[in-house]
Amino acid sequence: MKTRTMNQDWITTARTLSEALPYMQRYSGAIVVVKFGGNAMGDADAMAEFARDIVLMRQVGVNPVVVHGGGPMINDLLGRLGIESKFVRGKRVTDQATVEVVEMVLTGLVNKRIVQAIMDEGGRAVGLSGKDDDLMVCEADDPELGFVGRPIEMNVQVLRDLFSAGIIPVVAPVATGMDPLETFNVNGDTAAGAIAGALKADRLLLLTDVTGVKDGSGEVLTSMTPDDVRRMTADGTIAGGMIPKTETALKAIEEGVRAVVILDGRVPNACLLELFTDHGAGSLIRQPSPAPVEE
């Protein structure tokens, strides 16, 4: 006769699922926009883990939108084609030749790789770009940068239609201009923030290759208000590559996103930790709760 010894790992798993129930109920029906990029995009195991997390979110009633970048892949193809990459203030100068490569890589190679990873984990996903159904219409962000766009018009009904069908949208940050013959390269964080704002998303998760926003002593801040971010930017505590991310967070909150989280995408199951546990996985930015009214 066989006997079964209860493995402590399984007990821990069951307890974790039970403790996650209130969070799953809290986010059922919520819209969560996830900016995916960084080193995880080039690692097959990390990609599969991310896709599994997104499928689980959809399975428990969350409406996720994945917005992705693809800088390393763009750099690789530009190099192979002999097209020099130039940057101004940390942003890629995008001429006509470069924007054609950007569109090819983001809407083709990268977008379809993410879609396939989600489908491999049992989810339903559709890849699209900001051009599809005029999801994102842009104007030039800075004449020095060429075809780098800033969203000025958002049409997110196509995303809501996909939610209704149980499909996960995967969006490449390439957009049209007011002239439909124009193509713009859009920063991935900027695109994710614009989409989250237009959807009035419950959460915008910006996955990065750092642990979060740090204070002056180097400690990661788990919770901040927009005023905290502005003060830390003014005094130089927030600097460098973190500034565009916090600027995206502030604009998204102004446009109605309930909260933005800058979190470490290198942490296993970072999205699930942030949404479905007390622990969280990064720096949450939101407006302070209103003070209770005294009677």
Give the range among 29-43, 44-58, 60-74 with minimum mean pLDDT. 29-43
- Residue 235 in this model has a pLDDT that exceeds 70: yes
d(CA 191, CA 70): 13
- Residue 291 in this model has a pLDDT that exceeds 60: no
Quote the pLDDT of residue 123: 97
- Residue 203 in this model has a pLDDT that exceeds 90: yes
Average pLDDT (43-61) is 93
Give the range among 4-13, 53-62, 86-95, 103-112 with minimum mean pLDDT. 4-13
Quote the pLDDT of residue 49: 94
Ligand-binding annotation for 92, yes or no, is: yes
- Residue 21 in this model has a pLDDT that exceeds 80: yes
Q: How confident is the model at residue 51 (pLDDT cuts 50, 70, 90)?
A: very high
Give the range among 31-35, 157-161, 170-174, 283-287 with minimum mean pLDDT. 283-287
Q: How far is the first Cα of the chain from the last one, in angstroms, to the nearest whole number?
A: 68
d(CA 231, CA 216): 12
Identify which has the larger pLDDT, 41 or 145.
145
Mean pLDDT, all residues of the chain: 89
160-194 tens-digit pLDDT: 999 999 999 999 999 999 988 899 999 999 999 99
Average pLDDT (246-270) is 93
Quote the pLDDT of residue 3: 46
Quote the pLDDT of residue 92: 81
Average pLDDT (212-224) is 89
Q: How confident is the model at residue 10 (pLDDT cuts 50, 70, 90)?
A: confident
- Residue 108 in this model has a pLDDT that exceeds 80: yes
113-168 tens-digit pLDDT: 999 999 999 999 999 999 999 999 999 998 889 999 999 999 999 999 999 999 99
Quote the pLDDT of residue 211: 83
Give the range among 132-136, 241-245, 246-250 with minimum mean pLDDT. 241-245
CA distances from 202 to 28, 209, 259, 261 (A): 11, 23, 6, 11
Using DSSP bridges, classify how beta strands 168-172 and 63-68 pair: parallel, antiparallel or unpaired: parallel
Q: How confident is the model at residue 294 (pLDDT cuts 50, 70, 90)?
A: low
Average pLDDT (59-68) is 97
Measured in degrees and rounded to the nearest 5, phi and psi for residue 267 equal: -75, 130
- Residue 1 in this model has a pLDDT that exceeds 50: no
Ligand-binding annotation for 71, yes or no, is: yes
Q: How confident is the model at residue 292 (pLDDT cuts 50, 70, 90)?
A: low
pTM of the model: 0.91
Structural domains in the chain plus CATH codes: 27-285 (3.40.1160.10)
